[in-house]
């Protein structure tokens, strides 16, 4: 049996929506993008949402919007994909990495210790779709307002560290009764090919800014900034007499095209009506099987406050070394089951090693990493395939323990 790790979910509705975009004669940013933005707002509950070409671009845009650059610090977890740190580096700021909790998410205690007068933003990462400790993080930000030194108008308006969530994994996750998107000032979701909802490549920047900000005004600013600082998009310019435009910001070119947005337009309603529940059912199947194994450390799923989006099933094996984990993965792969590891902590990667980050400063990140194996989780999996996956994992682990 051959079981891939994370194929995209493409059904007839997706094909029809994409075909409609192709047949319309308009394939770059236009009505499909706006429809997807409106759907995100409707389902998540945020005031405004801007679609961009990747979550990485979305993080960069959010940082630039707040005027973050050279000399500024942004606190991030050491346990995340490189894009979280690269977004900070690309705007000229310094990533300040801190360790995580046992649940893979950034440690509030470590955040508190890392804040300095140079800190302009905190980017928590909702690993695998499990929400971070937002109440604690927001409390810390409020308690450190006296250290914040605004240097531009937007920073003066907010007058504190901005909270930008890297929720690439977490669309559909809940914190309390709200979907993620309402816990931070700005939340960025990914629509990459392997994510719960996809547009092949893409992301969305969700605005939830407090007063005195007007979220609609800031959306309009960001939309312009994401199109080279141009006052009209190509769709508007194409209308009769609409050719004249201006460039008012030194913007980026990070817009999402309609032909990709069409995939998300078809997927998003299906995701919230059925796909998310199917992912939860698979997650429960894994939990029920592995909770009987003394060697298994189960990932978080639900608590009184949090509900995962079930993006990844991050199984850990107790007491194993990195080498043993790799041997287990090889044995699982020999049975035709594709598994993965999420993630190599940033200080293990050459770029960040060369910048002076050392994995010894992040012991929990390394302990989680060396024991982690991500299992396939997507709605196309059958009961027979799930049973084959867990038996393959069980046999491989017990062979190497």
CATH number of the domain encompassing residue 83: 3.40.640.10
**Within a domain: 3:** no
Whether residues 337 and 242 share a domain: the answer is: no
| Angle 28-32-38 from CA coordinates, rounded to 5° | 135
Whether residues 173 and 41 share a domain: the answer is: yes
CATH number of the domain encompassing residue 361: 3.90.1150.10
**Within a domain: 7:** no
Q: Residue 273 and residue 356: Cα distance in Å, rounded?
A: 46
Whether residues 185 and 292 share a domain: the answer is: no
Any idea of the CA torsion for 58, 280, 182, 85, to the nearest 10 degrees? -30
pLDDT digit string, tens, across residues 314-337: 999 999 999 999 999 999 999 999
Whether residues 350 and 233 share a domain: the answer is: no
**Within a domain: 2:** no
Whether residues 180 and 221 share a domain: the answer is: yes
Give the end of a domain, one of 207, 235, 268.
268
- pTM to 2 decimal places: 0.96
- pLDDT > 70? residue 234: no
**Within a domain: 1:** no
**Within a domain: 6:** no
Dihedral sign (CA 58, 62, 64, 70) = negative
- What are residue 340's DSSP bridge partners? 374
The count of domains in the chain is 2
Residue with tokens 């508190």: 112
Whether residues 334 and 299 share a domain: the answer is: yes
**Within a domain: 141:** yes
Residue with tokens 């979907």: 179
- pLDDT > 80? residue 240: no
Omega cis (within 30) before 57: no
pLDDT tier at 236, thresholds 50, 70, 90: low
Whether residues 42 and 112 share a domain: the answer is: yes
Contacts of 146 (CB under 8 A, 6+ apart): none
Give the end of a domain, one of 268, 284, 313.
268
Whether residues 261 and 285 share a domain: the answer is: no
pLDDT digit string, tens, across residues 94-153: 999 999 999 999 999 999 999 999 999 999 999 999 999 999 999 999 999 999 999 999
Whether residues 230 and 310 share a domain: the answer is: no
**Residue 110 is among the residues annotated as catalytic for this protein:** no
Range of the structural domain that residue 84 is part of: 12-268
**Within a domain: 321:** yes
Residue of 390, 286, 374, 367 whose CA lies nearest to 320 = 367
**Three-state SS for 316?**
strand
pLDDT digit string, tens, across residues 325-378: 999 999 999 999 999 999 999 999 999 999 999 999 999 999 999 999 999 999
Give the end of a domain, one of 222, 253, 268.
268
- Cβ pair 395, 323 in contact under 8 A: no
Whether residues 97 and 218 share a domain: the answer is: yes
**Within a domain: 317:** yes
Whether residues 43 and 100 share a domain: the answer is: yes
| Catalytic option among 195, 253, 302, 335 | 195
Whether residues 167 and 289 share a domain: the answer is: no
């Amino acid at each position: 049996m051959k079981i891939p790790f994370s194929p995209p979910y493409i059904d007839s509705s997706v094909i029809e929506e994409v075909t409609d975009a192709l047949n319309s004669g308009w394939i770059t940013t236009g009505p499909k993008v706006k429809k997807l933005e409106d759907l995100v707002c409707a389902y998540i509950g945020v005031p405004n949402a801007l679609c961009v070409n990747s979550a990485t671009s979305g993080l960069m845009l959010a940082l630039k919007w707040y005027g973050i650059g050279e000399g500024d610090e942004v606190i991030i977890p050491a346990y995340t994909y490189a894009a979280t740190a690269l977004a900070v580096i690309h705007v000229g700021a310094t990533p300040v990495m801190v360790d995580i909790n046992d649940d893979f998410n950034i440690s509030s205690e470590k955040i508190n210790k890392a804040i300095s007068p140079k800190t302009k933003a905190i980017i928590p990462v909702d690993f695998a779709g499990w929400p971070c400790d937002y109440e604690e993080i927001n409390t810390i930000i409020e308690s450190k307002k006296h250290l914040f030194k605004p240097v531009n108008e937007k920073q003066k308006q907010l007058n504190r560290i901005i909270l930008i969530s890297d929720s690439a994994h977490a669309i559909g996750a809940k914190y309390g009764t709200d979907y993620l998107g309402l816990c931070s000032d700005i939340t960025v979701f990914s629509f990459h090919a392997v994510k719960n909802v996809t547009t092949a490549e893409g992301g969305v920047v969700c605005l939830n800014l407090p007063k005195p900000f007007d979220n609609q005004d800031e959306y309009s600013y960001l939309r312009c900034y994401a199109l080279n600082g141009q006052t009209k998009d190509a769709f508007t310019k194409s209308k009769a007499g609409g050719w004249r435009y201006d460039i008012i910001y030194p913007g980026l070119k990070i817009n999402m095209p309609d032909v990709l947005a069409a995939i998300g337009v078809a997927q998003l309603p299906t995701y919230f009506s059925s796909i998310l529940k199917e992912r939860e059912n698979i997650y429960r199947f894994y939990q029920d099987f592995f909770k009987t194994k003394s060697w298994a450390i189960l990932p978080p799923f639900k608590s009184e406050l949090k509900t995962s989006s079930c993006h990844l099933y991050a199984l850990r094996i107790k007491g194993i070394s990195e080498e043993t984990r790799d041997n287990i993965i090889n044995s699982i792969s020999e049975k035709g089951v594709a598994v993965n590891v999420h993630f190599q902590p940033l200080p293990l990667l050459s770029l960040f090693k060369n910048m002076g980050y050392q994995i010894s400063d992040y012991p929990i990140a390394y302990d989680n990493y060396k024991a982690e194996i991500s299992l396939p989780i997507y709605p196309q999996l059958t009961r027979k395939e799930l049973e084959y996956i867990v038996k393959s994992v069980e046999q491989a682990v017990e062979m190497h323990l």
